[in-house]
Amino acid sequence: MYQTLNPKFFEIALEKSLSNLGIETLDIHYIHIPEIARAGLSEEAFYNRMEELFQWYEIKVHERKIRNYGIALEFMAEEPKEDKWHFEIEKLKSRADKTGNGNSHFKYVLFTYNLLCPYAATIPNQKINGRNLTLVDACKELGLDTVGSMPLAMGDGFEKYSIKELLEFAQAGVDHIIVGSKNINHIKEILEILPA
């Protein structure tokens, strides 16, 4: 696996996204699965590269190409005890705040969250001021919005739970959820369950 944190790549991706969507500004832009880069770098090199990328993001906010940015995690939520993926959200937030002169636009942390993968809210793998916290609690303490992805567990959740149970669990644990389905009946159920 390979993942780059090079701002030049993100520049190309952002411009392509804006062009494809026919818009001038994205509300949120995510750094997708930074754990892959973390696994191949020393801790200090990882934070330094993320800081360089945060600097690029703050420039893009100033240029009004994006409004906010965040990170989209996979492995830290699905394998929270695996050291090779690990980094501290507090340290990332500190680097972002440094690039934003104390007022960064790093606002969102997205991660897998469902009844089959609840670890972001159950396993303490973050430290803030010497206290062990879950990823969800660390984000809340740092003022970052949490976004749960895959609340239906890619359909696997239906083997044990109803759609209502899956959605209620996800909604109770994070600030926002991203729900999708290719099943028309599931989409209708989702629309009936979720508030307007």
**pLDDT for the residue numbered 184:** 82
Helices and strands of the chain, counted as H and E runs:
9, 7
**pLDDT for the residue numbered 45:** 96
Q: Is the pLDDT of residue 67 over 80?
A: yes
Mean of pLDDT values over 70-95: 95
**pLDDT for the residue numbered 195:** 67
**pLDDT for the residue numbered 73:** 96
**Burial state string for 15-27 with b = 16 or more CB within 10 A and e = fewer than 16:** eeebeeeeeeebe
Higher-scoring residue by pLDDT: 129, 146 = 146
Mean of pLDDT values over 59-84: 95
Which segments of 79-162 does DSSP mark as H helices, in order? 89-99, 119-122, 135-142
Each domain of the chain, given as residue ranges in start order, spans 27-193
90, 127 contact by CB (below 8 A): yes
Exposed, middle or buried by CB within 10 Å (0-12, 13-18, 19+), for 145? middle
Would you state the structure tokens that stand for residue 119, as one six-digit string? 């670890």
pLDDT digit string, tens, across residues 2-45: 688 999 999 999 999 999 999 999 999 999 999 999 999 999 99
Percentage, residues of the chain above pLDDT 70: 98
Q: Give residue 196's pLDDT band: very low, low, confident or very high (50, 70, 90).
A: low
49, 41 contact by CB (below 8 A): yes
pLDDT digit string, tens, across residues 101-115: 999 999 999 999 999
Mean of pLDDT values over 116-135: 96
**pLDDT for the residue numbered 89:** 97
What's the half-sphere exposure (Cβ side, CA atoms, 13 Å) at 169? 23
Annotation: CATH topology of 27-193: TIM Barrel (3.20.20)
Nearest alpha-carbon partner for 111 in 161, 48, 190, 174: 174
Distances (CA, A) of 17 to 13, 14, 96, 110: 6, 5, 23, 19
Would you state the structure tokens that stand for residue 142, as one six-digit string? 């740092």
**pLDDT for the residue numbered 174:** 97
Instruction: Work out the mean pLDDT of the chain and round it to a whole number.
Output: 93
pLDDT digit string, tens, across residues 171-181: 999 999 998 77
